[in-house]
Amino acid sequence: MYSVNLLNKRRTTMKLLSIILVAVLMQQCSFSQTANNKNSTMDTTHKKNEVYSRESKEKVNLSDSEWKKILPSDVYYIAREKGTERPWTSKYEESKEVGTYYCAVCGNPLFKSDTKFESGCGWPSFYEPISKTSIIYTPDNTHGMERTEVQCGRCKSHLGHVFEDGPPPTGLRYCINGVVLDFEKAKDAEKKYNEKKGE
């Protein structure tokens, strides 16, 4: 009788631990199985995307069918269908480059590299956006969770989610899909600025 009770307690404990583990994993950024890898090529020249601008603050309102014509399929899936790239597949996940991260859909400045940190969640993480208008916050109650979705403040594309488990000074973790990010190194930006100034 004693061994049966002990066995039942162990089974109950294992079930409870399994439930806790699943809950903790679900609390992290959710993900779907998209065909992505760190070396995926993306059209960063934005030749088909006439709304892409790193200077304009004008809001962009296009239909999903219009977006589908101008965005690469992986960007469209994340940005417009609110998909999620697989964890640890983003070329920006472990990047230590100094510069600025932009929305890959419209060119809106989103994050400075000095706010990026290693969160261990598998997606590029930041503790603060460039400005209060860079990001829009919307409730997301999908997948049985209560989360806060973050969207681009200019084109309303899905970027990822924000969680309250980040480092100081904000205590926030912006967990962002790398597919919807463009990056410009600080030195490249300075060079472009000086070239424009010299014109």
Q: Is 156 left (phi over 0), alpha (psi -120 to 50) or beta?
A: left
Active site residue 175: yes
Tokens of residue 163, six digits: 């969680």
From the candidates 29, 106, 121, 175, give the one annotated as an active-site residue: 175
> Burial level of 186, CB count in 10 A (0-12/13-18/19+)?
middle
Which is nearest to 91 in space by CA: 40, 128, 46?
Answer: 40
Tokens of residue 75, six digits: 């960007």
Which is nearest to 161 in space by CA: 111, 131, 123, 117?
Answer: 123
Catalytic annotation, residues = 175
